[in-house]
Structure 1
Amino acid sequence: MKQTSAYSIGVIISTYNNPAWLEKVLWGYLFQTHPADEIVIADDGSKEDTRRLIESFKDKLPIKHVWHEDNGFQKSRILNSAILASESDYLIFTDQDCIPRKDFIATHAAYAEKGYFLSGGYFKLPMDISKQLTYNDIKSENAFSLSWLKEQHMKCNFKCTKLIKNKTFTRFMNAITPTKATWNGCNASGWREDIFTVNGFNEEMHYGGQDREFGERMFNLGIKSKQIRYSAIVLHLDHKRPYKTKESIEKNINIRRNTRKTGITETPFGIKQLH
């Protein structure tokens, strides 16, 4: 049964040159019990094969493709461009390597509340299973089934509890987890008006914590967070991170330290200044 809400919900998906993973992610949005009102692809300079893939979904999903030229890791900048292109009241942020379970959007919609942002969770898959996942595995939800994953020789540990789909259990786990409810780029959501109030993402920041800094400015604004890491689940496909550098991490740590120390809510390098 398809669900709707009193406000519009958009999904912003960041991507860069990985159409094979992005296709699996978009399959997940075909089967949502609560369909997105819009899906904005924030493309950090991908090549033609990504554009062709996105075009092939435009008759199936309400997709907008926001692209800029490849000039290194500029995820913050393309996310801000995608925010500007969005029209929905409420925005869910995720990545090209995160396949949503059928209840993903519905769960964000159920927990959404004025004065809060939501912090969702992910379950990492090994590379072999990431590669083998098919359209039918996602449609049938086998990909989210612990028994099926074990049949594919996945080793299980405590983190497998994220895939247990039981409301009483997930609420309990959300309540007791020691993990803080931070803004996680792969699975988080908030009100569009709040996102504009903090001026979007800090475009000075490259890889490493730019999502957390965004959330810290939300906290400075007085926005609280809700923990839904056991309720709103995505499967995280495996990949390498060649864009991760020591210099980027150190720079971002200093920016985050300043954000917490000064209590600023609005980045000076966000939507208003650079778009």
Structure 2
Amino acid sequence: MPEKISVIVSTYNNPQVLEMVLRSLAAQRRRGSTAYEVVVADDGSGPDTAALIGRLRGELDYPLLHAWQADTGFRLAESRNNALLAASGDYVVFIDGDCLVLPDFIATHARLAQAGCFVAGARCYIKKRKTAAILAAPQRWWRPSRLPWFFRALLGGANRPFQLLALPDTARRHRHPGRWQKVQTCNLGVWRADIERVDGFDATYVGHGLEDSDFILRLLRAGLRRKSGRFASVVLHLWHPRPGAVQSPNVGRFQALLDSGRTLPVTGLAALRDKAAAA
């Protein structure tokens, strides 16, 4: 099991929801000796987010770090690299800043962690009306738990209710060891050494989409295997409007990766580390 987990939470100008996520991470049932920290990967939020993190540092019982970069557009890949430079865990779990976690989230990722694998967790989408109710009284929802949410989902509050059931580990967790499709960084566990092996995320991805697919494909090419966290590790994804279909330049970037045999990004962690050292 990992000695220390770094949870990297991505955010941009959404402090109310970020507070809910950070408080759900404080409601963990600790099992074993796995410690954890949380690093907020901030893609240029305004001062309200910094003020929130400063206040919560004195309230929450885990180390809370803030990795901020200037707002020059949607740069999620580089934002996560910034957070990786600040993180100190030997295992890293990535989630989005609008995903609440269950009380066994850290313990489940610690149990699922396995040498030679990354763990692709699941998510349940909370419906629009239920999300509005949560945002109207957020204190009631800081501690989401598995069984009540299973029944809420069954009654229409969220999709994929059966993902909220915790099933035993079987060989089915390794059914698709080489598949990069549908692995997303809203719930993903990776050993830090393996992240370093592929030099982190590719910071040339700007705008929405495919930076996570690029990362996963390079992990697979480096010899990692996909392990499923379905029916074990799940996040509760709050509803928000989705961007319309846009032909992103990231499509061409990802196609270039598919056409190559690369395991390293065009611009990754090493370049950011060198830039920080020269500053």
Shorter-chain TM-score above 0.5: yes
1:21 aligns with 2:17: yes
Q: Distance in 1 between matches of 2:213 and 2:148?
A: 27
Name the counterpart of 2:139: 135
> Deviations 1:149-188 (Å, cap 9, x if unpaired)?
55xx62676x2211223x24x75985779xx565411000
Partners of 1:40 and 1:64 within 8 A in 2: yes
Shift of 1:55: 1.4
| Of 242, 261, 264, the match for 1:263 | 261
Query: CA, structure 1 residues 114+176, in 2 after alignment: closer, same or farther (shift >3 Å)?
Result: closer
Q: C-alpha distance in 1, partners of 2:158/2:92?
A: 32
Q: 2:227 matched to 1:231? A: no
The aligned residue for residue 203 of structure 2 is: 203
Q: Secondary structure at the match of 1:118?
A: strand
Structure 2 residue runs of 5 or longer lacking an equivalent are none
2:2/2:110 contact within 8 Å kept:
no
Paired residues of 2:127 and 2:158 also in contact (CA < 8 A): no
- 1:124-168 Cα offsets, whole Å, 9 max, x none, are 011221232233334262785232455xx62676x2211223x24
For 2:266 and 2:129, locate their aligned partners in 1 and report how far apart those are by CA, in whole Å.
42
Report if the CA contact (8 A) 1:142-1:148 is conserved.
Answer: no
Q: How does 1:77-92 map to 2 (within 5 A)?
A: 77-92=78-93
Deviations 1:5-28 (A, max 9, x none): 551111000000111111111121
Query: Within 5 A, what are the aligned runs for 1:3-42?
Result: 7-34=3-30, 37-42=36-41
> Does the C-alpha gap of structure 1 residues 6 and 219 become closer, same or farther in structure 2, counting only changes over 3 Å?
closer
Letter paired with 2:18: L
Paired residues in the alignment total: 263
TM-score (norm. length: structure 2): 0.85
1:132-211 equivalent positions in 2, closer than 5 A: 132-133=133-134, 134-139=138-143, 141=145, 145-149=149-153, 154=156, 159-165=160-166, 167-168=167-168, 180=179, 183-206=183-206, 207-211=208-212
- The alignment yields a C-alpha RMSD, in angstroms, of 2.6
**Contact 1:13 1:94 (8 Å CA) reproduced:** yes
**1:121 Cα deviation from its structure 2 partner:** 0.5
Identity over aligned residues, as a percent?
A: 32
TM-score by length of 1: 0.86
In the alignment, the residues of structure 1 paired with residue 113 and residue 259 of structure 2 have an alpha-carbon distance, to the nearest angstrom, of 28
* Cα-to-partner distance string for 1:233-268 (whole Å, 9 max, x where unaligned): 1000011245x66232xx323322332332211112
Contact 1:44 1:73 in 2 (8 A): yes
Distance 1:172-1:89 versus aligned 2 partners, 3 A rule: closer
Deviation of 1:105 (Å): 1.1
Distance in 2 of aligned mates of 1:41 and 1:137: 20
Q: Which residue of 2 aligns with 1:114?
A: 115
Is the Cα–Cα contact under 8 Å of residues 17 and 46 in structure 1 kept in the other structure? Answer: yes
C-alpha distance in 2, partners of 1:154/1:66?
A: 37
Contact 1:137-1:143 at 8 Å conserved across structures = no
Report 1:50-89 matches (<5 A).
Answer: 50-59=49-58, 60=60, 61-89=62-90
For 1:217, the aligned partner's letter is R
Contact 1:93 1:185 in 2 (8 A): yes
Does the Cα contact within 8 Å between 1:171 and 1:230 map onto a contact in 2?
no
Give the match for residue 44 of structure 1. Answer: 43
C-alpha contact 1:36 1:105 (8 A) present in aligned 2: no
Residue identity matched to 1:146: F
SS of the residue 1:64 aligns to: strand
